[in-house]
Structure 1
Amino acid sequence: MDCHFSFGPNGAFFAKSDSIWAWSDNNTLPEPLRLILEDPNHPQANKFPYDVAFPMEPGRFSMSWKTVKGEDYYEELFLGPSYTKLAEYMRNIAQNGEHCTRTVFGPNASYFTISPSGFSWQNLPPVLESDILGRMKKGLPTNVALGVHGSFVVLYSDGNVTFDVATHYPAVDAMIRNSAENARRKGIAFLALSPHAAGQYYVAYGDASASWNIPTEWTVDVTTVSKSLRPVGSARIGSTLPQLGGFSAAGGTFSAGGGGSSAQGQPPATPSTLSMGLHAAGKLWHAYQDQQGQNSGSPFGTQTTFIDTGNSSPPAFDPEHVGEL
């Protein structure tokens, strides 16, 4: 399943499937990222995003994408000094025609990312890092979620899941423990936690259904993306990359083969001189390698690792923002 969701600072988000992607508006995105996504005149205008993620520091982002010219690019110039290790990893794998997927950032300048060559991370909660290293010979991580105060979830290729979310994400804790519901929905295929707000999450299941607790203003676009998810094991018919039919002017949704919906209906902005200069120096990958079906994540099976670190009462859960497909 090609699915990714990233919670950003200042009310930003980015969500994608293999055919539709959406992002927040109201000036919540870093301007260089917004121009790549929205401006068809940008020299590296986006055709298909492989990976978009937000560090917790405002104004920062990482991105890997195919341009409308058919070139593969990655953006590490806006990561900032706390993520030089990730920037180096992106440069190294680009030499083999690879790019990052399912990149996630968390507190304390932590991150985790996946590529066909392996993984890169830093400053993970010690329990999470130990678990990943201890399981490497049995199952590889297919999805890592980082939340507030050291909360985390990691899904493995052998069907196991390790998590510590009871205190700050009680609904996610209940979902993971509900083995009957997970079996009915063919397991958890992807999960994201907000590192900015306890209780906020996005979950996609193996049958292409989804659940979330997000700000109300995101729900229309997130619902649109979620409806386009494909069950684990299914593939797009025809080209592995969608043909983009339009551009959104101020946030909203892009779809493959269809027009973009605009949140405000304004014409696309022209790229800034700074953005054009920085992106003109972007690294062109040697060749595009089809990522369809890679890093899709095996659904959560019957084997589970539970990590309970305390008995404190969970925060109140606000059902107003909850959605489900």
Structure 2
Amino acid sequence: MTIFVNFTMGAKEAYFFNSPTHWAWHNLLPDVEALFTKQPPLKDVIEFALGDNGTYFVSYRDHDGQIFCRHYNLPNPLTEYLYHGHPHVIRDLSTLSISLGPYESYYAHDKTSASWSNLPPALEKAVLGRLVSQDAWKTVWKENGRDAPSFVSLGADGSYFMRAVGGGGSWELKSKEDGMVGTNKFLNDSKDFTGVAGLYLFAHHPNSYVLLLTSGKAFSNLPEHTWADYNKMAPALPPLVQTMSPIPCTPQPRQQAPAPVPQPHPQLQPQQRIQTGCCPTGMVVAPHNCCVQTPQIGSPFGLPSPFIPQMPTHFHSQNYGATYAPAVSPAGGYGNPPAYTPPYGKPS
């Protein structure tokens, strides 16, 4: 069962984060929280989207393996796409992905079809430029499907990010916050988006984002009330791969190191008289080193050996939230620089 990595935030500190190993939420509508805490518990949440005025969509796999969805206050064109005059949703819920933006904008797609409405003009132009044909059941894209949008995120003030199956894409980031400016430079300097799984934007948080790479590394600027849950998830995000289906990158299980092969324990020989250059002549010992151990690292003038600190990979910033990044970021950066730089700072 495909489980997409998902970061979504709404008004009034509402959020939902999801990955194959962690999921967390805060301040969701009562009926959604009741669903997430019911018994027997859900097996998986496949998709979750938050919009304005209490709008939401959730698809999930119940305790018995069946897939269902719930929603409230969706834009009319999106409801029409989901049902198309039928009494139940006709889209493939196991691959359905929905992004809700401001002013009833949305982009929805599964493995065979897509629908959108009220997109930012630049994004709509980019989508239409990739389109071959579209009907209620099938959407055909150029380049044998490589031009199909596989990830779309709608942010505030017309900001958006779109990645295509083949690694192309389109984006516009309106925020001038430092981390967003650095992310924009990184995207601009990238030859394509084959290494980018998605850039999650949030209509109610114009300066916030999560940039997720296909390697599983994530870089973010998030509100403080999300840090505790995000900090648990980010180090465990799996590597992801883009399939030829027009759906978001799917998580891949981390390769586990093979179990070590047990080695036979050497049998100790019976105690015997041995003679070495260090042990007293004739001493009866088991295998042993009587010699004084020589330090492997020496320092001049009798000073202690220098301590070389490890470069931390997790920095905690009062300004930017949690950022997971290599100690040295690539040119352009993936978002916010670390708040402290060792050895003078204080890694969290």
Give runs of aligned pairs for residues 238-317 of structure 1, distance below 5 A: 295-297=247-249
Aligned residue number for residue 247 of structure 1: none
Asked whether the 8 Å contact 1:156–1:297 carries over to 2, the reply is no
Q: What is the deviation of 1:229?
A: 1.9
Q: Structure 1 counterpart of 2:68, which letter?
A: Y
Amino acid of the structure 2 residue aligned with 1:174: G
2:120 counterpart of 1:120:
no
Match of 2:99 among 89, 96, 104: 104
Letter in 2 for 1:49: V
Instruction: Please give the alpha-carbon distance, in whole angstroms, between the structure 2 residues aligned to 1:91 and 1:229.
Output: 33
Contact 1:30 1:61 in 2 (8 A): no
Q: Which residue of 2 aligns with 1:66?
A: 61
Q: Which ranges of structure 1 fall in alignment gaps of 5 or more residues?
A: 235-290, 299-316
1:35 maps to a residue whose letter is: A
TM, length-normalised to structure 2: 0.61
Aligned-pair distance for 1:69?
2.1
Instruction: Give how far 1:67 is off.
Output: 0.5
Structure 2 residues without counterparts, runs of 5 or longer: 132-141, 251-316, 326-348
Task: Tell me which residue corresponds to 1:216.
Answer: 224
1:108–1:96 CA distance, 2 compared to 1 (3 A)? closer
Residue 194 in 1 paired to residue 194 in 2?
no
Name the residue aligned to 2:35: 36
CA contact (8 A) 1:6 1:104 kept: no
Give yes or no for contact 2:201–2:208 (8 Å, CA) kept in 1. Answer: yes
Structure 1 residue 179: Cα displacement:
6.3
What is the CA distance between 1:118 and its match in structure 2?
Answer: 1.7
Mapped contact 2:10–2:50 kept (Cα < 8 A): yes
Which residue of 1 is the match for residue 46 of structure 2?
A: 50
Whether the 8 Å CA contact 1:142–1:155 is kept in 2: the answer is yes
How far off is 1:186 after superposition?
Answer: 6.8
Cα contact 1:151–1:168 (8 A) shared by 2: no
Q: For each residue in 1:232-254, what CA deviation from the matched residue of structure 2 results, as whole angstroms up to 9, or x when unmatched?
A: 239xxxxxxxxxxxxxxxxxxxx
Question: Which digits, 9 at most, give the CA deviation of each residue in 1:241-276, with x for residues without a partner?
Answer: xxxxxxxxxxxxxxxxxxxxxxxxxxxxxxxxxxxx
Partner residue of 1:159? Answer: 167
Distance in 2 between the 1:37 and 1:167 partners? 33
**Structure-1 residue corresponding to 2:321:** 321
The residue that corresponds to 1:314 in the other structure is none
Decide which of 78, 83, 90 is 1:86's aligned counterpart: 78
Task: Look up the equivalent residue of 1:321 and give its one-letter code.
Answer: G
**Cα distance in 1, alignment partners of residues 189 and 25 from structure 2:** 29
3-state DSSP class of the match of 1:197? Answer: coil
CA–CA separation in structure 2 for the residues paired with 1:157 and 1:15: 23
Give aligned-pair identity as a percent: 22
Match of 1:34, as an amino acid? E
How big is the shift at 1:161?
A: 2.5
Matched positions, count? 240
Q: 1:157 to 1:10 in 2, by over 3 A?
A: same
Superimposed CA distance per residue, residues 46-75 of structure 1 (whole angstroms, 9 cap, x where no aligned partner): 220110111122x32101110112211011
Q: Which residue does 1:6 correspond to in 2?
A: 8
Letter matched to residue 151 of structure 1: S
- Using the TM superposition, give the Cα deviation of residue 180 of structure 1 relative to its aligned residue in structure 2, in angstroms: 10
Structure 1 position 150 matched with structure 2 position 152 = no
AA paired with 2:12? N
**Secondary structure, counterpart of 1:35 in structure 2:** helix
The answer for the alignment partner of 2:267 in structure 1 is none
The residue that corresponds to 2:186 in the other structure is: 178
Counterpart contact for 1:2–1:229, Cα < 8 Å: no
Matched with 1:263 is: none
* TM-score scaled by length of structure 1: 0.65
